[in-house]
Copies of this chain bind each other. A is one copy, B any other.
Amino acid sequence: MSLRVAVSGASGYAGGEVLRLLLQHPDVEIGAITAHSNAGQKLGTLQPHLFALADRVLEDTTAEVLSGHDVVFLALPHGASGEIAAQLPENTLVIDAGADHRLESASAWEQFYGSPHAGTWPYGLPELPGQREKLRGTTRIAVPGCYPTSAQLSLVPGFAAGLLEPEDVVIVSASGTSGAGKSLKTHLMGSEVMNGMSPYGVGGVHRHTPEMEQGFSAAAGEPVTVSFTPTLAPMPRGIITTATARLKDKTVDPARVRQAWVEAYADEQFVHVLPEGQWPNTKMVLGSNHVALQLAVDSRVGRVVVTTVIDNLTKGTAGGAVQSMNIALGLEETLGLNGVGLAP
């Protein structure tokens, strides 16, 4: 089987990572590669690590160029994917790495994004309860945001098991700079980010907040609210998320709490609940689709604390996208994703 796959937004970090993974996928033939302002340039000048594609020329991102493929990846600024997707055949598998189709609530979308809602697609986080089934056979996939991937994998098992209170959930994440994309901004320059950590989008305004609440609420069966603070860390890739929630029963046996997470991920190939006493490190998962997490019950204050690491570009974006593609098409879920984390 050979799938013909197109990738839009190929000059950016998300698009580049999709291509990096597809080059290692045995069943994929890379078709059109498109960009916006960089159309007409050779990929080698923009993504020099993709030697095998160095001489490919970026085409314009149009429905015409993208049609005629089995799969189309959209790695576009939010707001751009809805329009393109509407012009692609219904039987083409369209995978949107942008935000447009993630939220079920149109009002949450409008509150946080300030534009009309483009509709909701099946959500590409197969490790959520019942989610893998919803992806099988679909032709439209919304890839989760990078922070929501790490946040939901951190706390959904506890909400699903009825262990966690729906209020005073606090999530603090640190992300590598590639999460901010390739746009030229002073605060993202190397001289500015090395040696520095800085928060942004503080106070409940980050657009990934409602996406986290959506996943938690679905798992909990009641509305969950979240205080989310992202920070920028001096590393190119990786997210570490510290997620903490109040236990409904402050006297619950910590072993029972742990069991909820162990069971939730028992059959998952990419999510690893580390042995007790071992803490995750973003280096464990760099460039891979793996997730590592550890949890602790703080009985003094009656809260559980979960720390989770992912690579924001791989499991947090392109890897989750390829994994979802494999599920949608009935392929083995790990194809193209056998890469091992790059340590040291």
A287 within 8 A of B: yes
Q: Which of A70-78, A82-90, A289-297 contacts B (4 or more CB under 8 A)?
A: A289-297
A344 within 8 A of B: yes
Residues of B within 8 A of A280 (CB): 198-199
Residues of B within 8 A of A234 (CB): 190, 194, 233-235
Copies in the complex: 4
Residues of B within 8 A of A246 (CB): 168
Question: Measured between alpha carbons, how far is A307 from B49 in the docked complex, in Å?
Answer: 16
A162 within 8 A of B: no
Interface size class of A (residues with CB under 8 A): 35 or more
Residues of B within 8 A of A24 (CB): 338-340
The residue in A20, A196, A198, A231 that gathers the most chain B C-beta atoms within 10 A of its C-beta is: A196
B190/A192 in contact, CB under 8 A: yes
Q: In the complex, which residues 19-70 of chain A have their Cβ closer than 8 Å to any Cβ of chain B?
A: 20, 23-24, 44-45, 47-52, 54
B185/A184 in contact, CB under 8 A: yes
Question: Measured between alpha carbons, how far is A168 from B192 in the docked complex, in Å?
Answer: 34
A308 to chain B: closest residue by CB: B199
Q: In the complex, which residues 280-309 of chain A have their Cβ closer than 8 Å to any Cβ of chain B?
A: 280-288, 290, 292, 294, 296-301, 303, 305, 307, 309
A313 to chain B: closest residue by CB: B344
Question: Measured between alpha carbons, how far is A201 from B292 in the docked complex, in Å?
Answer: 17
A80 within 8 A of B: no
Known: A23-B338, A177-B190, A227-B298. A195 touches B282 (CB 8 A): yes
A189 within 8 A of B: yes
Question: Measured between alpha carbons, how far is A5 from B278 in the docked complex, in Å?
Answer: 28
Known: A49-B342, A170-B244, A174-B174. A202 touches B294 (CB 8 A): yes
The residue in A47, A187, A242, A275 that gathers the most chain B C-beta atoms within 10 A of its C-beta is: A242
Residues of B within 8 A of A272 (CB): 51, 54
Residues of B within 8 A of A342 (CB): 20, 49, 237, 286-287, 342
Residues of B within 8 A of A307 (CB): 199, 202, 229, 231
B176/A284 in contact, CB under 8 A: no
Smallest CB separation, A258 vs chain B (Å) = 11
Question: What are the 10 A-B residue pairs with the smallest beta carbon separation, nearest first?
Answer: A203-B296, A190-B193, A204-B298, A49-B341, A196-B283, A198-B281, A191-B344, A172-B172, A184-B184, A49-B343
